[in-house]
A and B are shown apart, each in its own frame.
Chain A
Amino acid sequence: MTEERKTIKREDVEYLGKLARIRLTEEEINSFAVEFGKILEYVSSLAVLDTGDAGPARGTGRKDGPVRADRTEKSMDREEILANAPEKTDRFFKVPKII
Chain B
Amino acid sequence: MDILSLTIGRIADMVRKREISCLEICERFLDAVKERDGEINCYLHVNDKILEEAKASDSRLAGGGSPRALEGVPVAVKDNICVRQMPATCASRMLENFVPPYDATVIERLRDQGALILGKTNMDEFAFGSSTESSAFFTTRNPFDITRVPGGSSGGSAAAVGARLCMGALGSDTGGSIRQPAAFCGIVGFKPSYGVVSRYGLIAFASSLDQIGPMTRDVMDSCIIMNVISGRDSRDSTCLDYDPPDYTRFLREDLKGIRIGVPVEYFPSGIEDSVREKVQDAIRAAESLGAEVEEISLPHTGYGIAVYYIVATAEASSNLARFDGVKYGYRTPSHENLLEMYMNTRGEGFGREVKRRIMMGTYVLSSGYYDAYYRKAEKVRSLIRKDFEEAFRKVDVIFTPATPEVPFRIGEKKADPLKMYLSDIFTANVNLAGLPAITLPVGYSGKLPVGLQVIAPFLREDMLFKSASAIENHFRHTS
Q: Which residues of A contact B (CB under 8 A)?
A: 13, 16-25, 28, 32, 35-36, 38-39, 42-43, 45-47, 49, 51, 54-57, 59-63, 65-68, 76-77, 80-81, 83-87, 93, 95-98
Give the nearest-CB partner of B380 in chain A: A46
B335 contacts partner chain A, Cβ-Cβ < 8 Å: yes
Q: How many residues of B contact A (CB 8 A)?
A: 77
Q: Compute how far the CA of A43 lies from the CA of B328 in the bound complex, rounded to whole angstroms.
A: 35
Closest to A80 in B: B101
Name 8 interchain pairs, CB-CB below 8 A, sorted by A: A18-B343, A21-B342, A25-B347, A42-B418, A49-B303, A54-B383, A66-B241, A68-B237
Q: Which residues of B lie under 8 Å from residue A63 when comparing CB positions?
A: 195, 240-242
Contact: B331 with A60, CB < 8 Å?
Answer: no
Given A81-B101, A95-B338, A96-B341: A67 and B237 interface contact (C-beta under 8 Å): yes
B contact face: mostly helix, strand, loop, or mixed: helix
CB-CB nearest in chain B for A35: B417
Among B101, B306, B363, B382, the residue within 8 A (CB) of A42 is B306
Task: Tell me the bound Cα distance from A45 to B300 in angstroms.
Answer: 12
Contact between A38 and B418, CB atoms less than 8 A apart = yes
Q: Does the CB pair B434–A84 fall under 8 Å?
A: no
Question: Which listed residue (A35, A47, A55, A57) contacts B432, Cβ 8 A?
Answer: A57
Q: How far in angstroms is the closest Cβ of chain A from B168?
A: 26
Q: How many Å from the CB of A85 to the closest CB on chain B?
A: 6
1/0 per residue, CB under 8 A from A, across B383-396: the answer is 10110000000000
Q: What's the minimum C-beta distance from A51 to chain B, rounded to whole angstroms?
A: 4
Interchain nearest-CB distance for B371 vs A (Å): 10
B residues near A62, Cβ cutoff 8 Å: 458-459
B 293-342 contacts with A by CB, 8 A: 302-303, 305-307, 309-310, 317, 321, 324-331, 335, 337-339, 341-342
Contact of A60 with B195 at beta-carbon distance under 8 Å, contacts A86-B329, A96-B338, A98-B338 already known: yes
Contact A56 B378 (CB under 8 A): yes
Knowing A22-B350, A68-B234, say if A61 contacts B240 (CB, 8 Å): yes
List 3 A-B pairs, minimum CB-CB distance, nearest first: A23-B347, A60-B434, A56-B378
Question: Which positions in B face A, CB cutoff 8 Å?
Answer: 97-99, 101-102, 193-195, 208-209, 232, 234, 237-242, 302-303, 305-307, 309-310, 317, 321, 324-331, 335, 337-339, 341-344, 346-348, 350, 352, 355-356, 358-360, 362-363, 366, 372-373, 375-383, 385-386, 417-418, 421, 432-434, 458-459
Known: A22-B343, A86-B331, A97-B337. 14 other contacts (CB 8 A): A19-B366, A20-B359, A23-B344, A32-B359, A39-B360, A46-B376, A51-B379, A55-B379, A57-B378, A57-B432, A83-B99, A84-B101, A86-B325, A98-B338
